Amino acid sequence: MINLIGTYEAKADAKGRIVLSAALKKQLLPMLQDGFVLKRSVFQPCLELYPMSEWNVLMAQVNKLNRFVKKNNDFIRRFTAGVKIVELDASGRLLIPKDLQMFAEIDKNVVFSSAVNIIEIWDKDKYEKAIDDSTDEFGSLAEEVMGNVTGDQDGIS
């Protein structure tokens, strides 16, 4: 499993190309050859960048869903809407396709935020607002999600 670390700021050019920081690119280096999948987030107005190996693990779970159950079929359609395979170009830039830029309202200032095995890509103002809005609730959330974790059980909700 991949464990990505850090939050990095960058700027998008007029075409939606973003130069990744050296520290982030160094973490992603082992995954560059296989490429990445970029998709809309389910819960937030941001994008999710999956290393191909992580995407394949997720798709193995999704492929277990019975497609003859309408809600499963609807979920698969919505979950994979707008999904794109992306790579870094020769200059180390990531191109965010226009439809995904519009979804996340990415204009100029961008934040790359690690989320364990993926990278969230945010408009900087939206990211700061999401972090600020959840500050008061985070202690309760942390206790609820991680409070029962012990050495012999995961306890994760």
The CATH number of the domain holding residue 31 is 3.40.1550.20
Tally of structural domains, the chain: 1
| Helix, strand, coil % in the chain, rounded to nearest 5 | 40, 25, 35
Please report, for residues 49, 57, 78, 98, 124, the alpha-carbon distance to residue 130 in angstroms, rounded to integers and kept in the order given: 18, 28, 23, 23, 10
Residue 155 pLDDT = 54
Domain annotation covers residue 139: no
Report residue 154's pLDDT band, with 50, 70 and 90 as the boundaries.
low
pLDDT of 146 > 90? The answer is: no
pLDDT, one tens digit per residue, over 108-145 is 999 999 998 999 999 999 999 998 876 667 777 778 88
Q: Where are any strands of DSSP class E within the chain? A: 7-11, 17-19, 36-40, 47-51, 84-86, 93-95, 109-115, 118-123
The domain of 19 spans 7-124
